[in-house]
Structure 1
Amino acid sequence: MPVPPPTLVQPASAPQPAAKRRRLWWHRLILGLWYRPVEVLDEARDRGAWSAAVLLTLVGGALGLLASKSFRSQWATGPLEVVWQLAGLTEAGVLVASLGLGLVTHAIARTLGGNGRLRPTVSLFIVVFWVTDLPRLALSFLLPADHPFAQAVSLTTWGFGCALAVLLIRGQHHLPTLRSVGAVAVQMLASLALLKLGPIG
């Protein structure tokens, strides 16, 4: 009985199930941005991080409020109902402002040709913004905003935040570096003028 010639067509292998993505916990995201930012931003690509974004915004707003001398004096002398209302309004305002920064960043990136999704871009931009601002906020309890060392820390962390924001937009929206810089430039310059440097002179 003749043996049939071997076939050159191999049977199709069964498709392998896609590996399940590991959940990116907020504490890994927040801490990882400081010592392995490229890896963390790559792992966070196309993921929302709203819990971390809201947590950092509330913590940042609370630290900024507590560091204010006028708020502390009002806490010591004024009625507590007014103080709590002021704190609530401040936190709400910080949340709205942070969301606005993220939305503007996403809109500019899409205008420049990006194709990223809204939810990951906005939430991760808020995380990057407040993670890099935490050292300045912590230092504001010890030194005035116009102290040279405080301003040096503010400039350093602001520069680090700019670099992380550019990496974020480049990865989320698949934009070249120069366009990514353009997408975050206005927001980061506004934060430098309004938040990080404080009064000079």
Structure 2
Amino acid sequence: MAGFRIGRGRGNNRPPQQPQQAPPPPYGPSQGQYGGGQAAPSYPPQQQWPPSGGRPGGHSGGHQQARAPHGEPEYFGGDHHAAGDPYANNPGHTRAFSINEDPYGDAATYHAGSASVPAGPRLHWKELLSGIVLRPGATFLQMRDHPVWGPALTITFLYGLLAIFGFDQTRDEAIKAPFTTALTSVMITGVAFVIGSLILGAVTHTLARQLGGDGAWQPTVGLSMLIMSLTDAPRLVFAMFLGGDNSLVQVVGWATWLAAGALFTSMVSKSHDLPWPKALGASAIQLIALLSIIKLGTI
């Protein structure tokens, strides 16, 4: 009972609580210091909101937007790119973005050699072969991320089977030899051309990467094999009937060799994003080998 009385006494003798003082205004002194009842200026000046679309707490496009006081973070729902928002992208305000949205611009920049972003759909082998001859630039760009092993191995092997008849000496030996011996020589030549073109294509790809290219090796090697075989096909056709030493065959050989250089340069440039001087330099070894082995027959 004594403790109860003491508690009551303390509660009864407690002085009345003073009312809490209002916090000072955030921008400058109180209104009385300006005299004459003049209101203190407000910094920054209050924004006049439009009647609809950008009003805090209103509706714009079916989505409600909540406006926090000045200086507080703001969170937007729905269409946060509304044109009526005067504080968007200003200091002290937070702008919300959707998942996978790039606030700094378009991030869909293509990188060479990236298999996840192909330059175009895979071409049928007929369209591929005709495209290398008729529209090489667009074809190389479209096939820069697609392997072409099927057409490359087939065309190169068929070219190798006939290449033995493009030289006078080897053609005479194959004709005079027994059938089994001639067939063996033809098959060996076909396989040798496939292996040789694979090695030369790999060398071209390696040089392109050393010069700053970033293309994939399978399209580069496959396309180089096709270029090597297709460009020499006209010379081989004339050489089979006229002989390798014929003047017309020599002229056609040099013309097709120059065409091969242009196609190699275009292919490496499109596949590895290299300027044409570097692309030509990356193809130099393969071009020299093509000239020495096939065009001139010196090796």
Whether these two folds match at TM > 0.5 is yes
Q: How does 1:174-193 map to 2 (within 5 A)?
A: 174-193=273-292
Counterpart residue number, 1:148: 247
Task: Report how many residues are paired.
Answer: 196
Change (3 A) 1:21 1:178: closer
Q: How does 1:67-146 map to 2 (within 5 A)?
A: 67-146=166-245
Structure 1 residues 66-106: Cα deviation after superposition (integer angstroms, max 9, x where no partner):
34445554455433222222222111111110101101101
Change (3 A) 1:195 1:75: closer
Shift of 1:23: 3.0
1:4 is matched by which residue type in structure 2?
Answer: G
1:167 is matched by which residue type in structure 2?
Answer: S
Residues 60 and 134, structure 1, Cα contact 8 Å, conserved in 2: yes
Q: Which has the larger radius of gyration?
A: 2
Q: Are 1:53 and 2:113 counterparts?
A: no
Q: Secondary structure at the match of 2:145?
A: coil
Higher relative contact order (CA 8 A, sep 6+): 1
Long gaps (5+) in structure 1: none
Calculate the aligned-residue CA RMSD, in Å: 2.8
* Partner Cα separation in structure 2 for residue 49 and residue 144 of structure 1: 32
* Partner Cα separation in structure 2 for residue 129 and residue 76 of structure 1: 26
Range moving further from structure 2, 98-107 or 53-62: 53-62
Q: Secondary structure at the match of 1:99?
A: helix
Residues 148 and 219, structure 2, Cα contact 8 Å, conserved in 1: yes
* Partner Cα separation in structure 2 for residue 177 and residue 20 of structure 1: 20
Residues 146 and 197, structure 1, Cα contact 8 Å, conserved in 2: no
Residues 213 and 273, structure 2, Cα contact 8 Å, conserved in 1: yes
Q: Secondary structure at the match of 2:241?
A: coil
Shift of 1:148: 2.1
Q: Among the aligned pairs, what percent are the same residue?
A: 30
Counterpart residue number, 1:64: 163
Counterpart residue number, 2:135: 36
Residues 133 and 158, structure 1, Cα contact 8 Å, conserved in 2: yes
1:160 is matched by which residue type in structure 2?
Answer: A
Change (3 A) 1:71 1:112: same
TM-score scaled by length of structure 1: 0.85
* Partner Cα separation in structure 1 for residue 177 and residue 273 of structure 2: 51
Counterpart residue number, 1:4: 58
Structure 1 residues 117-153: Cα deviation after superposition (integer angstroms, max 9, x where no partner):
1111111111111111111111112222222221111
Residues 168 and 244, structure 2, Cα contact 8 Å, conserved in 1: no
* Partner Cα separation in structure 2 for residue 155 and residue 186 of structure 1: 17
